[in-house]
Chain A
Amino acid sequence: MLRFPTCFPSFRVVGEKQLPQEVVFLVWSPKRDLIALANTAGEVLLHRLASFHRVWSFPPNENTGKEVTCLAWRPDGKLLAFALADTKKIVLCDVEKPESLHSFSVEAPVSCMHWMEVTAESSVLTSFYNAEDESNLLLPKLPTLPKNEENSDEIIKLLGDVRLNILVLGGSSGFIELYAYGMFKIARVTGIVGTCLALCLSSDLKSLSVVTEVSATGVSEVSYFQLETNLLYSFLPEVTRMARKFTHISALLQYVNLSLTCMCEAWEEILMQMDSRLTKFVQEKNTTTSVQDEFMHLLLWGKASAELQTLLMNQLTVKGLKKLGQSIESSYSSIQKLVISHLQSGSESLLYHLSELKGMASWKQKYEPLGLDAAGIEDAITAVGSFILKANELLQVIDSSMKNFKAFFRWLYVAMLRMTEDHVIPELNKMTQKDITFVAEFLTEHFNEAPDLYNRKGKYFNVEKVGQYLKDEDDDLVSPPNTEGNQWYDFLQNSSHLKESPLLFPYYPRKSLHFVKRRMENIIDQCLQKPADVIGKSMNQAICIPLYKDTRSEDSTRRLFKFPFLWNNKTSNLHYLLFTILEDSIYKMCILRRHTDISQSVSNGLIAVKFGSFTYATTEKVRRSTYSCLDAQFYDDETVTVVLKDTVGREGRDRLLVQLPLSSVYNCEDSSEYQFTGNYSTRLDEQCGAIPTRTLHFEKHWRLLESMKAQYVAGNGFRKVSCVLSSNLRHVRVFEMDIDDEWELDESSDDDEEGSNKPIKIKDEVLSESDTESQVAGAAASTPDIVIKVEKLDPELDS
């Protein structure tokens, strides 16, 4: 057996699957043996390494969207973000279950994402965390909303670790945005042209690498940019604190919004019945007496005119009155409950967090450079205060309406029972002088015909006063509260200094709750937006390197897998860029590297890699051909996983998976010989000759990908696995990459594999028949082929 060591190649197949839908994106979890896939059907799937078993799927839906463009894991592997092109949304999803935990809209469809975590540790951050605990102690826990998809508490939980992590989004026409903790926008970058192909924010926060593509008539030019992000770097603790505060605030804003929606839903159309019936009555009656007088008449003399009697008995009816009374009571009390327990406590928490934010903003040295503006935040605080006052007003309106309606309905009920000459229960019949005054006052206040109201709203009456607060209209309130006689407002009106006090919250007596809420939202949004603009503007484009012209005409979904690939080495603070240049109809892989700190340079900034030969060490047979690079990705800081195409290889035996160690590329002994002699301002594919090329020969760490037209690869150095995807985007094969490096140990590894064959056997059921022969177990049968090929190739090389 040892004669053909190729039977035991590097990398062990641990899973293989034919998928029903084409895969458009795949990415490994950074911490676990999970791989997330997006397919053309708009599903997001999570698979486990073991036998490529499906863990869950997130089906496409109207709400979130159907066209998934890219995926990104939060560095701790607990959250998965995916971007949707059709709805322009970003959805954050828990790794445990396929549910949207949080989503937000962006301006443009996102074509690439990168989620990074800051490496720097700071003692200041821990004290921030304590400060956050404080707000938990001081503020009451918000009650959960009756119906909610996203609890604000959950969102806070989503924040996770204090250490800052940033989700970078890139899209078409230079759209680049940074979201702290994947939730709050902290920067909007401007000034980059083209569609983003890849993004990478270095974990030391010193620079952002961007690769963009500007297309014109089928040809697109790809360029690399490095943006300086020194503001983020030097203000890391402040940015962290601000981002967390902002997330709290926007979560609370959402909570307030949802509470208001619930309130609107609790209000029913039926409550308007009184108004509409009375209006109809006015239109139809032919007497000259006003409605108010008619009712007054009924109140004082116990007798109603014929018209009123018809209205009451035939249209309203005793049953209808009862029903109306019940619905008013139930709906009002549920609105009241929502205001007290949800809306008010939510907006009070909002006020608290905003006042903390004000404290931060007033510390100008720390937060002014980030665009936090104390005056704007003070406005926001005032706006929230006004909102709370408005909510309080609504509460009082509900309170008095409930009282009024109760008395009125009771009286009307008795009056109507009398008309039908029904028996009236004696308790109901009792009416004191006070009750009569109360009803009379209610009638004077509410049953006045208002012709101008008819012109505005098509009704003469506004008996129901709660609905007007909940309508999402710019109109003034139909019947604003009467502030006359309130000594506080009188005093305030007549004061000279107090009136202008910045500490007092303005009160908008004529506006609806919705209006005040919208105003508050706008002001808060403005405050929160400003830092994004300021930080975004500070991110200067420091370096621009035109890379190559891409004439490959492939549809945009496939492009997502494509080069270029960006990687950040956290320990040596380097940005790496992998890309290919077309030279003599083969794609040559190039590695560009730059220091994250723009002022520092790095040796061997640009190098091309040529794959020379692949040998089997023990047989010393040389497999030599020309290889075109199809895909490459960083596997870990030291290794690049590459998929190669053997240009002369037979179909089905022409793809190779290679682990390329960077140490051999950046060999320090002769590194000085490999210097780029060209110039970075000219497009690199025009100066191929100037790019130093290192030819590498492989004895191990490669594998022939049998019977698979492999095209793409996704590697995961943390779990030591790689996933290869075929060019038809449906066939995936998963490898374990860490099997014994030493050829000498082949025999024992052989035994190991025999031993571990069992689980693979079980999995065979899920594999399609055509693939079974390519299994490790079945590899022996195909071995002669390889040997023959090697023998065939050898003479060619000699000649």
Chain B
Amino acid sequence: MGGGSSLGPLIDGAPVCPLTSTMALQQAQMLLSMNSLESVNAGVQQNNTESFAVALCHLAELHAEQGCFAAASEVLKHLKERFPPNSQHAQLWMLCDQKIQFDRAMHDGKYHLADSLVTGITALHSTEGVYRKAVVLQAQNQMTEAHKLLQKLLIHCQKMRNTEMVISVLLSVAELYLRSSSPTIALPVLLQALALSKEYRLQYLASETVLNLAFAQLILGIPEQALSLLHMAIEPILADGAVLDKGRAMFLLAKCQVASAASCDPPNKTEALEAAIENLNEAKNYFAKVDCKERIRDVVYFQARLYHTLGKTQERNRCAMLFRQLHQELPAHGVPLIDHL
């Protein structure tokens, strides 16, 4: 699920719950500029408040989400200076730092690295840690272990009424089912997640869920339905989503377009395939922003296939070459085009 929980709570019990990342950005910056006029006669320690730390952490996360890693690490460095490791609010940025590192490692396909970060995260925030552990396990194809862990976590979060985490866990469970090619079992889980996120007005998680639902429909062989469902989810994701999610949405859109073009007559089919290639280019750009080579590899493979169908040899060869390079770097046994979002 990667960036799925990117809008998750920073502190247990006091979640920062913005409408959208743009709104979050605005709130964070407003908070930061808040003390500007009084700091002159106030003590130096005035700004070392928890709210200041939270706002800065948020800023770091938002930058990391959009692929501005240099800026994010700068913010974290500043936090480190301001709140030394043993000081009161230090664990805020420590958790934030680890989460960003974890996400980057996951994007890059370095699961062992991500796994090593889990311990640190668990120490700071147990729920978050367990969740991340499950995500790593799932990525490493240890489905049974991941499933067990997620079920435990789900019960715990439901008890704690941590709704955001409940939805995230439900999404992970559904993804697990989807990866094991049982979309029919995934559907009720996704619908439950959708109902919860609508009820608690978690717009972004709702969009995520819709994305997964569309994917399930694609696997079930109803790409037209998936396409019309995607119409609902794509705009909020493109507006406020993490870069990776934007890429995933565009990738899924392209897959659905290709799948639904299968039943079209030749001229329409060509048009649909060309549109899909365009969307794949978009997806590729998004993935490139967060160095998600594994996904770029998949996109390039898919593009090569499409170009082949369209008879555009030159473009096909270019994509195929790119794929070859990436494949040597990140070998995969059979490209899993359809088994994950």
Which A residues fall within an 8 A CB radius of B? 123-124, 127, 130-131, 134, 137-139, 348, 351-352, 354-360, 362-365, 381, 385, 388-389, 392-393, 396-397, 399-400, 441, 481-489, 491, 495-498, 500-505, 507
Contact = CB atoms under 8 A, between A and B. Distances in A.
B25 interface: yes
Contact of B20 (A355, A392, A484, A503): A355
B228 A124 contact: yes
A356 B63 contact: no
Contacts of A124: 228, 231
A352 B33 contact: no
Interface of chain B, helix or strand or loop or mixed?
Answer: helix
A247 to B, nearest CB: 17
Interface string B212-246: 00000000000000001001101111111000001
Nearest to A389: B33
Interface stretch (B35-43, B86-94, B130-138, B173-181): B35-43
Contact of B38 (A355, A400, A487, A507): A400
B34 A363 contact: no
Contact of A352 (B20, B62, B278): B20
Contact of B36 (A388, A396, A501, A504): A396
A364 B238 CA distance: 10
Interface string B175-203: 00000000000000000000000000101
B35 A486 contact: yes
B228 A123 contact: yes
Contacts of B234: 359, 363
B82 interface: yes
Nearest to B41: A441
A496 B71 CA distance: 8
Contacts of A354: 22
Contacts of A400: 37-38
Given A351-B22, A352-B19, A392-B30, A503 B68 contact: yes
8 nearest A-B pairs in the assembled complex, by CB-CB distance: A359-B239, A497-B70, A355-B22, A362-B238, A359-B235, A486-B36, A488-B32, A359-B238
B66 interface: yes
A355 B240 contact: yes
A398 to B, nearest CB: 10
Given A482-B40, A496-B74, A364 B282 contact: yes
B25 A487 contact: no
Contacts of A502: 68
A168 to B, nearest CB: 28
Nearest to A378: B22
B238 A488 contact: no
A497 B68 contact: yes
Interface residues on B, range: 35 or more
Given A127-B231, A352-B22, 14 more contacts: A352-B23, A359-B239, A385-B29, A396-B34, A396-B36, A396-B38, A441-B41, A482-B40, A485-B39, A487-B47, A488-B32, A497-B70, A497-B74, A504-B29
Contacts of B20: 352, 355
A363 B19 contact: no
Contact of B30 (A389, A483, A491): A389
24 contacts: A123-B228, A127-B231, A138-B19, A355-B23, A358-B239, A359-B237, A362-B238, A365-B279, A388-B26, A393-B33, A393-B36, A393-B37, A481-B36, A481-B37, A488-B33, A488-B35, A488-B47, A491-B78, A495-B71, A495-B78, A497-B70, A498-B71, A503-B68, A507-B33
B211 interface: no
Contacts of B19: 138-139, 352
Interface in B28-68: 29-30, 32-41, 47, 52, 62-63, 66, 68
Given A124-B228, A138-B203, A485-B40, A363 B33 contact: no
B40 A356 contact: no
B282 to A, nearest CB: 7
A498 B30 CA distance: 16
B75 interface: yes
Nearest to A134: B203
B74 A495 contact: yes
Contacts of A489: 33, 36
B34 A392 contact: yes
B47 A505 contact: no
B66 to A, nearest CB: 6
B204 to A, nearest CB: 11
B275 interface: yes
A732 B240 CA distance: 59
Nearest to A391: B30
Contacts of A381: 22
B151 to A, nearest CB: 31
B232 A127 contact: yes
A252 to B, nearest CB: 14
Interface string B106-125: 00000000000000000000
B26 A138 contact: no
Contacts of A481: 36-37
A540 B29 CA distance: 47
Contacts of B36: 393, 396, 481-483, 486, 488-489
Contacts of B238: 358-360, 362-363
B40 A484 contact: yes
A497 B68 CA distance: 9
B35 A503 contact: no
Nearest to A489: B36
A362 B33 contact: no
A484 B40 CA distance: 7
B23 A392 contact: no
